[in-house]
């Protein structure tokens, strides 16, 4: 394994992208720039070994991580992902983006992220439960409702959170619902949490389109990723009479200029595990997806999906980042030069963590809100934050991403400054 230095990222990696984003914003930070190195040094990173007994009797070891990037504004907050490509460097970048995201929408958290390098599709339910419980027990020394609060991310879900909450509670000797969010509603979870990220993506896309004078009705939309974020954003777009002309996931790519029927596609994915084999659209190849004729492109899969060549081919006028870090450094510059508006991840996909915040607040008071109340409060925070960022972008003549980073980094570094250094 090559030595990892925080200031020596793998070129083109998410952490490299993040460090460049911080450099871009530094000239706008005034006196707070004195503290900017804070954002390049994660506060704490834990690597854990997760040994479990597999169903066939073998003992397998998995590597897991929990990184607390910054805790200046409050406890760490961010998801846990299960994926074969998870590395410490990736989790580092994802935790840093949580710091920026939580500050950009002004919820009282720092940033954290966790992950296990595993292909969850190869594990039985029993093995997944063991993996989750052992991981929780290993990271229990640094998580807790006032320390760091995990949540779902790629390939984790409410069931994963139930096992985490149960394991942490068993270790503490009492019920601790607020240690994780994204739990099942039966267990202190919040109504509206599962759909919150996709809903937030839709709300932000709608608002951005409005300011560009682009009516959603009839707008052609392409969505990459058809999991919890992409499928719900696509569904809400279709309900608003936008036309979802192309969808791509791990199993294939589909196009239908007349519009793909999203509820039917969701049913298909439920039974087949992916969009491949759906007959009411034409199967296209992976690269053609990026050049499809559309007005709005929503990458909602993994980081680094939009690289330079893909950025050159995108036909949309508006790109809304449903995933974390889907556009790499080079592509970001190309999209800017091509005049394509990019709504950055740290605002576009913040709906999930915003409703996680509502869940955590509800758990503390053991008093639960209606779904309407949650959706209304989500809309007010999400659109309020988006409008602030738009105004800042106009005032500074910078892209939306830089404006979001200016607002977020100022909040984090102001907290850093008033807290002071100890000792």
Q: Which residues are catalytic?
A: 113
Phi-psi label, residue 30: left if phi above 0, alpha if psi -120 to 50, beta otherwise: left
CB of residue 389 to ligand GLU, shortest distance in Å: 17
Q: Does 151 bind ligand GLU (CB under 6 A)?
A: yes
The β-bridge partners of 5 are 8
Alpha carbons 316 and 381: distance in angstroms, whole number: 27
User: Segment 35-64, which members bind ligand GLU (CB under 6 A)?
Assistant: none
Among 78, 200, 304, 344, binds ligand GLU (CB under 6 A): 78
CB of residue 213 to ligand GLU, shortest distance in Å: 30
Q: Would you say 332 and 401 are in contact if contact means Cβ atoms under 8 Å apart?
A: yes
Chain residue at closest Cβ approach to ligand GLU:
79
Nearer of residues 182 and 326 to ligand GLU, judged by Cβ: 182
Q: Does 70 bind ligand GLU (CB under 6 A)?
A: no
Alpha carbons 175 and 178: distance in angstroms, whole number: 9
Nearer of residues 129 and 321 to ligand GLU, judged by Cβ: 321
Among 353, 393, 408, 412, binds ligand GLU (CB under 6 A): 353
Residues in the chain: 423
CB of residue 350 to ligand GLU, shortest distance in Å: 7
Q: Does 136 bind ligand GLU (CB under 6 A)?
A: no
Which 3-state string (H, E, C) describes 36-97?
A: HHHHHCCCEEEEEEEEEECCCCCEEEEEEEEEEEECCCCCEEEEEEEECCCCHHHHHHHHHH
Q: Would you say 300 and 229 are in contact if contact means Cβ atoms under 8 Å apart?
A: yes
Among 127, 153, 249, 332, binds ligand GLU (CB under 6 A): 153
Among 329, 352, 400, 403, binds ligand GLU (CB under 6 A): 352
Distances (CA, A) of 419 to 35, 38, 72, 189, 423: 12, 13, 8, 32, 11
Interacting span for ligand GLU (CB under 6 A) from 4-12, 39-47, 73-81, 300-308: 73-81
CB of residue 17 to ligand GLU, shortest distance in Å: 15
Alpha carbons 352 and 265: distance in angstroms, whole number: 23
Q: Does 181 bind ligand GLU (CB under 6 A)?
A: yes
Q: What is the DSSP letter of 306?
A: B
Q: Which residues of 10-37 are buried (b: 16+ CB within 10 A; e: fewer)?
A: eeebbbbbbbebbebbeebbeebeebbe
Alpha carbons 332 and 81: distance in angstroms, whole number: 25
Interacting span for ligand GLU (CB under 6 A) from 8-16, 40-48, 350-358, 380-388: 350-358
Among 21, 356, 362, 390, binds ligand GLU (CB under 6 A): 356
Per-residue binding string, ligand GLU, 305-334, x by CB under 6 A, is -------------------x----------
Q: Does 73 bind ligand GLU (CB under 6 A)?
A: no
Interacting span for ligand GLU (CB under 6 A) from 58-66, 82-90, 126-134, 351-359: 351-359
CB of residue 359 to ligand GLU, shortest distance in Å: 8
Q: Which residues of 191-201 are buried (b: 16+ CB within 10 A; e: fewer)?
A: bbbbbbbbbbb
Nearer of residues 196 and 260 to ligand GLU, judged by Cβ: 196
Alpha carbons 270 and 261: distance in angstroms, whole number: 15
Alpha carbons 405 and 27: distance in angstroms, whole number: 12
Q: Does 77 bind ligand GLU (CB under 6 A)?
A: yes
Give the footprint of ligand GLU on this chain (CB under 6 A). 77-79, 151, 153, 181-182, 324, 349, 352-353, 356
């Amino acid at each position: 394994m090559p030595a990892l230095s925080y200031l020596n990222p793998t070129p083109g990696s998410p952490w490299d992208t993040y460090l460049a984003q911080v450099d871009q914003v530094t000239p706008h930070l005034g006196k707070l720039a004195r503290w900017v190195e804070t954002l390049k040094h994660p506060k704490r990173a834990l690597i854990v070994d997760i040994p479990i007994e597999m169903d066939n009797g073998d003992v397998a070891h998995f590597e897991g991580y929990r990184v607390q990037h910054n805790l200046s504004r409050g406890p760490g907050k961010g998801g846990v992902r299960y994926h074969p490509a998870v590395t410490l460097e990736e989790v580092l970048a994802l935790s840093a983006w949580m710091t920026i995201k939580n500050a950009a929408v002004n919820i009282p958290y720092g940033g954290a992220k966790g992950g296990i390098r595993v292909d969850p599709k190869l594990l039985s339910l029993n093995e997944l439960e063991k993996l989750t419980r052992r991981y929780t027990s290993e990271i229990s020394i640094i998580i807790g409702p006032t320390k760091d609060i995990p949540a779902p991310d790629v390939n984790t879900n409410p069931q994963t959170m139930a096992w985490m909450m149960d394991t942490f509670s068993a270790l503490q000797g009492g019920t601790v619902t607020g240690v994780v969010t994204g739990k099942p509603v039966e267990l202190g979870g919040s109504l509206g949490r599962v759909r919150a990220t996709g809903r937030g993506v839709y709300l932000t896309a709608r608002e951005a389109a409005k300011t560009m004078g682009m009516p959603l009705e009839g707008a052609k939309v392409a969505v990459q990723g058809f999991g919890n974020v992409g499928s719900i954003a696509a569904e809400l777009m279709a309900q608003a009479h936008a036309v979802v002309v192309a969808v791509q996931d791990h199993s294939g790519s589909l196009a239908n200029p007349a519009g793909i029927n999203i509820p039917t596609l969701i049913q298909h994915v439920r039974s087949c595990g992916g969009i491949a084999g759906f007959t009411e659209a034409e199967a296209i190849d992976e690269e053609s997806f990026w050049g499809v004729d559309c007005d709005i492109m929503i990458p909602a899969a993994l980081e680094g999906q939009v690289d330079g060549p893909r950025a050159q081919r995108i036909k949309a006028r508006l790109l809304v980042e449903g995933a974390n870090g889907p556009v790499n450094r080079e592509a970001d510059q190309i999209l800017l030069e091509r005049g394509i508006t990019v709504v950055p991840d740290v605002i576009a996909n913040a709906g999930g963590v915003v409703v996680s915040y509502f869940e955590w607040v509800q758990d503390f008071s053991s008093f639960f809100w209606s779904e309407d109340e949650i959706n209304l409060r989500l809309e007010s925070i999400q659109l309020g934050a988006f409008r602030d960022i738009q105004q800042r972008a106009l005032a500074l003549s910078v892209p939306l991403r830089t404006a979001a980073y200016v607002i977020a980094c100022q909040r984090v570094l102001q907290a850093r400054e008033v807290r002071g250094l100890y000792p």
